[in-house]
Chain A
Amino acid sequence: MMCILSVYSTQLSSDLTLRIDLDSAVPAYRQIVDGLRILLVSGKLAAGSDLPSVRRLAVDLGVHFNTVAEAYRMLNDEGWLDLRHGRGATVIKRDAPSAAPEHVEEFRARLRALIAEALSKGVSTTKLKTELLKLIDEVTT
């Protein structure tokens, strides 16, 4: 299934919904991290916002506690979340670090692979450019 992850959020920033697809080849914890990161980068989850507890989110998504705990730990390591024992997580103010050259190279490699996949499936370069710009807009505003 092509659908790797979709994060749905309505126009109101207070009504945020995270979606994961258990049929996807991407592990659930990875989808949770990716989905939350999109909301964090876009500012829809602002500094000071409380996230649901590990237990609450695990029940809502119907996944094991460890899956959610692992996702929260990864975002904690990235500096997005402050984890409080037994009380869930809070979004903290985070200054974007300057990208290390090896990270830039890693993203370039991933993007190259994605672009090649899209072109091989018949997506035109014009369409690809438009979609990319639209997604950058969506994530950053």
Chain B
Amino acid sequence: MNAAIGIVVLPLLMVAIVFYFLPLLARPGIYFGATVDPAFPRSPEGRRLLDSFRLQVIVSGLLACGLAVLLLPLNLVGAELVPMALLIAAVSFVYWKKFHQVHSHYGERLPEVRQADLSAQPAKESFSPWLVLPPFLALAAVGVFLQLHWDQLPQHYPIHFDINGEPNRWADRTALSVFSPLLVGGATNLLLLGLAWLIATTSRKTVMRYVTVRGLQVMLYPLTFTLVTVSLLPFWRSPMWIVPLVMLVSIAGLIYWSYGRISSPHSSDAVPEPRSDNYWKAGMFYYNPDDPAIFVAKRVGIGYTINFASKWAWVVLIGLLLTPLVPLLLVRMK
């Protein structure tokens, strides 16, 4: 029961922690998604707004955790999903209220000056084979290893474990079950690389583009590690904590590195994003019908969002959401 409480409560706490720190994960001059004087967040009024937001996040987080514990005896999935949905809705609403408050009372309007690099060959983001290929080679090497040791694979082996570490799902020794984690790994890696390429070719040259494209390439490594570990389960049952730990350390390291680059006083955007708050609905959603860019650097947090006014952005978004369903459909059809 204690472990089950941990499973439903931990993700809620993580979401609350992300929102707790979110207002600070922005470039100087952006506060709750609104354009302000860079000194405003440190002013008494700026601090008061942050304290009030954080208090509401903490209360929402605790209420969600309480609800999850109450729902747990009834239904595990319900106890995971309902409080999570309510928590995200509540903290998003609180965030929107703060954006509105900051934008209306303390917002600044910067001149809408745009600039473009006219050099014949503007520098593009790099996709180094030395960085990109090793994860694919690792997947291929494990595939070869499994093929060579086919006879040593047990007829049935565990592929899923419960919260106590006991196996609760088993697989037969078939080509699909043995190689599918590797295929999923290859497909996921290609999807991430495709996304990185799309961002690199269809967005403006900003510091955020550099860290996002590089970050997506680096993420191939923890993902590949996860799927290699799953593939090798018949031979090596790793400690349960190792995969989440590798993933957590990788993501934390990437966030730390990215934020360092974005907030560095020495880095500036070669081609900056549009600056007006009017393009940011609720401080979170970029909507600019005149802008042909599909991807736009986030104002708060790290990474890219889409231009919701672009039909191609919707095509990309729906494609990204549907892609994970393709393997499931293929398995069903088979």
Task: Write the residues of chain A forming the contact surface with B, with a CB cutoff of 8 angstroms.
Answer: 1, 3, 6, 8, 14-23, 39, 45, 49-52, 55-65
Looking at chain B's contact residues, the main secondary structure is loop
**B117 in contact with A60 (CB, 8 Å):** yes
Q: Given contacts A16-B118, A17-B116, is CB(A59)–CB(B111) below 8 Å? A: no
- Which B residues are in CB contact (< 8 Å) with A22? 112-114
**B119 in contact with A60 (CB, 8 Å):** no
**A21 in contact with B111 (CB, 8 Å):** yes
- Which B residues are in CB contact (< 8 Å) with A3? 111
**A61 in contact with B114 (CB, 8 Å):** yes
**B292 in contact with A65 (CB, 8 Å):** yes
- Bound CA–CA A20/B274 (angstroms): 12
- Which A residues are in CB contact (< 8 Å) with B116? 17-18, 52, 57, 60-61
- Which B residues are in CB contact (< 8 Å) with A45? 118
- Which A residues are in CB contact (< 8 Å) with B114? 19-22, 60-63
Does residue B155 face the partner (Cβ distance < 8 Å to A)? Answer: no
Q: A1-B111, A6-B113, A60-B205 are in contact. List 9 more A-B contacts (CB 8 A).
A: A17-B117, A21-B111, A51-B118, A52-B118, A52-B122, A60-B271, A62-B273, A62-B292, A62-B293
Report the number of A-B residue pairs with Cβ-Cβ less than 8 Å: 79
**B118 in contact with A18 (CB, 8 Å):** yes
Task: Write the residues of chain B forming the contact surface with A, with a CB cutoff of 8 angstroms.
Answer: 111-120, 122, 202-205, 271, 273-274, 288, 290-293
Nearest CB to that of A60 among chain B residues?
B116
Measured CB to CB, the closest approach of chain B to A67, in angstroms, equals 8
Measured CB to CB, the closest approach of chain A to B22, in angstroms, equals 25
**B290 in contact with A23 (CB, 8 Å):** no
- Which A residues are in CB contact (< 8 Å) with B290? 62-64
- Which A residues are in CB contact (< 8 Å) with B274? 62
- Bound CA–CA A93/B112 (angstroms): 34
**B292 in contact with A58 (CB, 8 Å):** yes
- Which A residues are in CB contact (< 8 Å) with B119? 14-16
Q: List the 9 closest A-B pairs by CB distance, nearest first.
A: A60-B116, A16-B118, A22-B112, A62-B291, A19-B115, A50-B120, A61-B114, A60-B271, A62-B274
- Bound CA–CA A26/B164 (angstroms): 69
**B113 in contact with A21 (CB, 8 Å):** yes
Nearest CB to that of A20 among chain B residues?
B114
Nearest CB to that of A8 among chain B residues?
B115
Measured CB to CB, the closest approach of chain B to A90, in angstroms, equals 10
- Which A residues are in CB contact (< 8 Å) with B113? 6, 19-22
